[in-house]
Structure 1
Amino acid sequence: MLGNINIVECNQNYREALTKSILFFQAQRSGSLPPNQQVTWRSSSALSDGRLANVDLTGGYYDAGDNVKFNFPMAFTTTMLSWGTLEYGKKMGAQLEDARVAIRWATDYLIKCANNMPEKLYVGVGDPNLDHKCWERPEDMDTARTVYSVSSKNPGSDVAGETAAALAAASLVFRKVDPKYSKLLVKTAQKVFEFALKYQGAYSDSLGYAVCPFYCSYSGYKDELLWGAAWLFRATNAVNYYNLVKSWGASDQPDIFSWDNKYAGAHIDYILGENPLKKSYMVGYGPNFPKKIHHRGSSLPSIAAHPQHIGCNEGNQQFFSSPNPNPNILVGAVVGGPNQNDEYADDRGDYSHAEPATYINAAIVGPLAYFSGLP
């Protein structure tokens, strides 16, 4: 019911918030950073990702405050970024190209992950159990960069279905500006979806030790198959995808992502500071925002400021436990937020409230674009 909102009384600078919400993704980049990198306290990292499996899996995004690449949330992030760009791209102005760049940083990586199809789909890099014990900059990390995949014998229809959705949605973003790349995206999406459909099963069952409790597939995999089919139908207009959506959609019951619960969407100003604490939960936006977020790169000094290697234990002892604000401001990052009583401790150790994530930012880009485009 957007028409009932009194826009005149809004005091937020949505254009600034939009710009910063997209800039956040540069700080989450893995791989070789380009010369025009704007978040200058980050440097290239994880340049050997995939080597343990004799494949190139460099690039993509670290999902949150850690240094692991989990493809399930990364693919969802990509789908949501693409969806927001498709719906509100005309309202983004100069930020439209930045949004496309953010999407492509993920899809370039997801395409690499599908290069060995139909034998296997790579779905992540980095041992989360070891990584989460360390407090290291991405540029310093020396934990195992274990490669994870799903296959016909160890299926993962959920992560594959979401990957297909991401690639299909992104193909629509690039359809007019880069037709060749768009065709590659949709072709890869079809290949990945065929794999998801043919070898059905939850990736939590195949890779539980590596993805749970971090990103278990609690809802099963049928929702991702439906989601992937829906985006492929939009991208191709192929009747077989339509038939899948029609046959599955009638029996599946919606859960959180539904028409019924709109409370979070009706509060996008609460996040920006219209709350009892008058605190912005977007880092770098407004005068009062979280200063000690749960994020390794933000809380550790940059390579430029501290070129010496910072080891796992040293990072924990000297920086994770430090009472000081993070030395690098992770501009645009939206943190988990306050508790149910509108309290926020700004505690680096409280990851459930103080940690940002790509999929949080991806969901807010579209709404911010909508409001920033209003007169």
Structure 2
Amino acid sequence: MRKHRLTALLLGLLTAGTALVTSASAAATPNKVDYAEPELNYAKLLQYSLYFYDANMCGTTVTGKNRLSWRGNCHVYDAKVPMQAIDDNYTGTNLPASYLTKYKDIFDPDGDGFIDVSGGYHDAGDHVKFGVPETYAGTMIAWGYYEFREAYEKIGEAAHTEMLIRHFCDYFMKCTFRDAKGDVIAFCHQVGDGAEDHKYWQSPEIDAMGRPAFFATAEKPATDVMSEAAACLAISYCDFKETDPDYAAQCLDYAKALYTFAASNDKALLKGADGPASFYESKKWEDDFCFAGGWLYLITKDHWYLEQCLPYDDYYAPPGYVLCWNDMWNGVSIIFGRIQDEYPEICEETRVAIGRGKYEKLNFWEMEAKALNEYQAAKKSTKAGYFFMDKWGSARYNTAAQFCALVYDKYNKGKDAFDSTKPDYHFSQWALGQMEYLLGDNPMDRCYVVGYNEKSAKYPHHRAASGLTMAEDPAEHKHILWGALVGGPDRNDHHNDITADWVDNEVTIDYNAAFVGAAAGMYLAFGDDSMQPTADFPPPEKENDADLFSGNEFWATGYYQDAPEATGAGTTKLTFFVNTDCLEPHTDLSIRYYFDISEFKANTDIPGSFVLQCPYDQVQTEVSGKHAEISKPKKYKDNIYYVEVAWPDYAIANSNKKVQLIIGMFYGDNWDPSNDWSLKGMKELGEEYDNLVSGVEVAERCPNVCVYADGKLVGGTEPDGTVPEKVYTRAQAERLMKHLLTVKPIEDEEAAKQFDLSEDKELDARDLSLLLNLIKNS
């Protein structure tokens, strides 16, 4: 039995005895170890949960604002969306030219021909800014702060949280385009194309793919996403009204404008064809519309908001699902319950508005309590007692249910309005058991919060944090994605902790959204003085001295299959990918494959029967207007030639797009690839070569396939031993100085070799002098 000091709010519960155990199972039991002892520190949990949003921040103000050293400005070209229809390169907008012309002064106030929709947050491990989950995430972060603000203040994260909320609000207000009267004429609900974005696995700072902007207008209404944006801004008004009244007033003004637009125009769902495709298919708009209307009534006491939304209320909906980006009915029930406490007439007004019988009595708190009781039922739990709604992000639904339970108990003093036989605060106790499961008290002995402790999931499906060039790479991640709630266990309490698993290990801004508020509620309800946030968080990135010489490296990966003929002729099938650790996109890269023709009967030139084919160019297949350009064989020196493959104006590095070549002789001469310079060190495959779909998962570094940037060698080794010039930096000199002063010795052998510029196997002042000269002359 673990000991918790419950707040006075929960004292009544302690005398309720063992009646707390639900019929679901004896597992996920609050205050009791069912499988493994978890680390329970809700101050730390809340602190960590916020930092996932730092990791997913986007725009031109990330650097300096963000608290993670490995994230910086990205997708700065979202500030330069061309005022044109979306073209084959995924740039432009979904708006007709006539609309852009009519409102040019609003879309393009500085007259540069572009629309600025920079900012916001990436959706997940990918980098699209999807409207429905982003507005939901902003709403939930603001709402959690509103309900449990004391928790954020106690752990010293209030200013950080407000920065994150402002980043949401600033983006939503930037994306709201209003005329001189203040009326909304368009709202940008999405930037980026899901299918195009998912072709890459790289950090957002080097992305260069096209990112179209999608807008909602009176002709293309999106009641769901515009209402949810209004809700986020309205709640944020409440968050800032005491500390920054001017900013709060601005948020409320935009919230009203967006809601007025939603109420005044045709009501419709955001259509998949207008951006989200199948990634986020909203099923209804009424819930978002009612949720925003409820908040605006609470704030303004203007009955107009109730008149607009009550006819669309689905009173009996909450028990049918859980609070999430696609279902806000539990949120509606809670907010209408709060209105009911102040304005009881809402119950009768709603009954009339939705056409229910005159003898029917509505009680929004009772309906929410019914939903919470439903979550506790055995039919929605795993064998280990984990509340399970769906395999896609099971943990997000679980923590959203926890959040609703904690907010419900806050306003109802723990009384179950649906079943009065239940002990007080049993909803909060149930939530406690669920959180304990997620933190490690489960059959997997796993914590589903990244970075929380040693038991945490370590391989979230996240490009930026992984530092990898493909999701299939099983390597250790370069960065810790602090506080990210991974997808979670399946119905059998099982979980795969691998980067490539986008079900179990997906991380998204909507997964963490209710989780943050649940952590805050847990801290206020169940925290004690032993629970403290981590000091000096986040910690410095783990230093790897070898990384001091990285950031400018390019290399090719690939594999080959030899196809010899009995006549002595033959061909070699080649597959290549291009990679880099550089944090800037390069559109001037090419690779060279060097081969030797010494075996040719007449080896002074390339014969006419020489074969050079490109059976597959993935860029040409998937990117409109772009393709690989393959040179004819060019002489390097003596009997060595090369073919060069370039991708003009396309950022090929880390795109995971392959090019395949066939080189050799079908007839008429000998072909022996064993003497080819670039083949040395390449991975050879057999018959499986032609059966691979992607191939990126089996490709290995090709040390002698050279990479060039605008003709300059930047990767690989040429036949005469030439290697790229090293880049020397002030950071390297500072590190060597620490070593020489014995402040921090360099222990990595490979790093020491790179610092040993004098090549005497000693690191001394001479090496520092040589390094400083190289920096000065570079």
Q: 1:42 aligns with which of 64, 67, 71?
A: 71
Post-superposition offset of 1:252: 6.3
Query: What is residue 15 of structure 1 aligned with on the other side?
Result: 43
Distance in 2 separating the partners of 1:247 and 1:24: 38
Post-superposition offset of 1:90: 1.2
SS at match of 1:351: coil
Is 1:165 aligned to residue 227 of structure 2? Answer: no
Is 1:339 aligned to residue 490 of structure 2? Answer: yes
Native 8 Å contact 1:25 1:358 kept in 2: yes
Native 8 Å contact 2:177 2:185 kept in 1: no
Query: What is residue 56 of structure 2 aligned with on the other side?
Result: 28
Is 1:359 aligned to residue 423 of structure 2? Answer: no
Q: Aligned pair count?
A: 357
Query: What is residue 119 of structure 2 aligned with on the other side?
Result: 59
Is 1:200 aligned to residue 266 of structure 2? Answer: yes
Is 1:237 aligned to residue 301 of structure 2? Answer: yes
Query: What is residue 170 of structure 2 aligned with on the other side?
Result: 108
Query: What is residue 210 of structure 1 aligned with on the other side?
Result: 275
Post-superposition offset of 1:96: 1.9
Q: 1:291 aligns with which of 436, 454, 458?
A: 458
Native 8 Å contact 2:39 2:439 kept in 1: no
Q: Which has the larger share of strand?
A: 2
Distance in 1 separating the partners of 2:299 and 2:251: 10
Q: 1:154 to 1:108 in 2, by over 3 A?
A: same
SS at match of 1:142: coil
Query: What is residue 138 of structure 1 aligned with on the other side?
Result: 204
Post-superposition offset of 1:42: 1.1
Name the % identity: 29
Post-superposition offset of 1:7: 5.8
Q: 1:327 aligns with which of 454, 473, 478?
A: 478
Q: 1:163 to 1:252 in 2, by over 3 A?
A: farther
SS at match of 1:48: helix
SS at match of 1:268: helix
SS at match of 2:189: strand
The two structures have a TM-score, normalised by structure 1, of 0.89
> Which residue identity does 2:162 align to in structure 1?
R
Q: Which has the higher contact order (CA 8 A, sep 6+)?
A: 1
Structure 1: tracts of 5 or more residues without a match: 302-314
Q: 1:104 to 1:247 in 2, by over 3 A?
A: same
Q: 1:41 to 1:190 in 2, by over 3 A?
A: same
Query: What is residue 129 of structure 2 aligned with on the other side?
Result: 69
Post-superposition offset of 1:277: 0.9
Native 8 Å contact 2:486 2:504 kept in 1: yes
> Which residue identity does 1:249 align to in structure 2?
D
Distance in 1 separating the partners of 2:493 and 2:314: 38
Give the number of the structure whose alpha-carbon radius of gyration is greater. Answer: 2
Larger displacement relative to structure 2 (359-368 or 236-245): 236-245
Larger displacement relative to structure 2 (64-73 or 268-277): 268-277
Distance in 2 separating the partners of 1:114 and 1:323: 42
Query: What is residue 175 of structure 1 aligned with on the other side?
Result: 241
Q: Which has the larger share of helix?
A: 1
Q: 1:279 aligns with which of 446, 450, 463?
A: 446
Native 8 Å contact 1:81 1:365 kept in 2: yes
Q: 1:127 to 1:332 in 2, by over 3 A?
A: same
Q: 1:203 to 1:197 in 2, by over 3 A?
A: same
Post-superposition offset of 1:8: 9.4
Is 1:249 aligned to residue 313 of structure 2? Answer: yes
Query: What is residue 304 of structure 1 aligned with on the other side?
Result: none
Query: What is residue 221 of structure 1 aligned with on the other side?
Result: 285
Post-superposition offset of 1:50: 4.2
Distance in 2 separating the partners of 1:353 and 1:150: 33
Post-superposition offset of 1:325: 2.1
The two structures have a TM-score, normalised by structure 2, of 0.44
Structure 2: tracts of 5 or more residues without a match: 1-8, 15-19, 21-29, 84-113, 324-329, 331-367, 376-386, 388-397, 403-430, 529-778
Native 8 Å contact 1:129 1:210 kept in 2: no
Q: 1:238 to 1:338 in 2, by over 3 A?
A: same
Native 8 Å contact 1:161 1:196 kept in 2: yes
How big is each residue's C-alpha offset from its partner over 1:268-322, in whole Å with a ceiling of 9 and x where there is no partner?
2222112111111100012112222111101126xxxxxxxxxxxxx3xxx3221
How big is each residue's C-alpha offset from its partner over 1:89-132, in whole Å with a ceiling of 9 and x where there is no partner?
01222122221111111100000011345221110111111001
How big is each residue's C-alpha offset from its partner over 1:214-261, in whole Å with a ceiling of 9 and x where there is no partner?
11112x111111111011112222111133344433656334234314
SS at match of 1:185: helix
Post-superposition offset of 1:23: 1.4
Native 8 Å contact 2:439 2:447 kept in 1: yes
Native 8 Å contact 1:50 1:125 kept in 2: no
Native 8 Å contact 1:293 1:335 kept in 2: yes
Native 8 Å contact 1:202 1:217 kept in 2: no
Q: 1:11 to 1:289 in 2, by over 3 A?
A: closer
Native 8 Å contact 1:83 1:366 kept in 2: yes
Q: 1:327 to 1:34 in 2, by over 3 A?
A: closer
> Which residue identity does 1:289 align to in structure 2?
S
